[in-house]
Amino acid sequence: MTTPSLLLNARLWISAALPAQKSAAGFAALPFTQVRGCKVFGTLVTQYQTAPYMPIGGETPYQRRVGRAPASWSLDLYRISDAGQEMLAAAVASGQAHSFQLTVPGFGVHYFSAEVSGLGLALGGAAALAEISLSLELRSEILAQS
């Protein structure tokens, strides 16, 4: 389980369009809408599946990367009236992948496509009435803008 982290001045952007080419330049050309009210971001990780590999004539097997593993990302938001949050809610209903841009001061701009697979309403406290939680299933690699 990952530990969520609070990223000061980090900004999340969403676009209903997918890039023509899966590159940082392709994502940068898309029209993005900022998602306001982001409270806590989960850990955004590129993971790979591995398989044991035994080289011919080798004495010991080792793990070899064979493909990108499915990854998900959690996000907590303050519930506010915002065009970006409305796009996230529409993305849950559509079941289609959307493009995302995450800007983190000191770490640059990162792009990826993901499907919003869950929208959770926390129950149990006064603060929970003002918050929502989202789960995103990544559908592409995480690309950093150079």
Residue boundaries of the structural domains of the chain: 11-42+72-144
26's tokens: 């392709």
- Residue 100: pLDDT over 80: yes
What is the assigned CATH class of domain 11-42+72-144?
Answer: mainly beta
Q: Which has more confidence, 105 or 69?
A: 105
Q: Is 134 exposed, middle or buried (0-12, 13-18, 19+ CB in 10 A)?
A: buried
Give the three-class secondary structure for 139: coil
pTM above 0.85, yes or no: no
Which pLDDT score, from 0 to 100, does residue 28 have?
Answer: 94
Residues 60-72: b if buried by 16+ CB within 10 A, e if exposed: eeeeeeeeeeebb
Alpha-carbon distance 22 to 29, whole Å?
Answer: 11
29 close to 44: Cβ distance less than 8 angstroms: no
Q: Is 77 exposed, middle or buried (0-12, 13-18, 19+ CB in 10 A)?
A: buried
Question: Rounded mean pLDDT of 58-68?
Answer: 78
Q: In this structure, how many other beta carbons lie within 10 angstroms of the beta carbon of residue 6?
A: 10
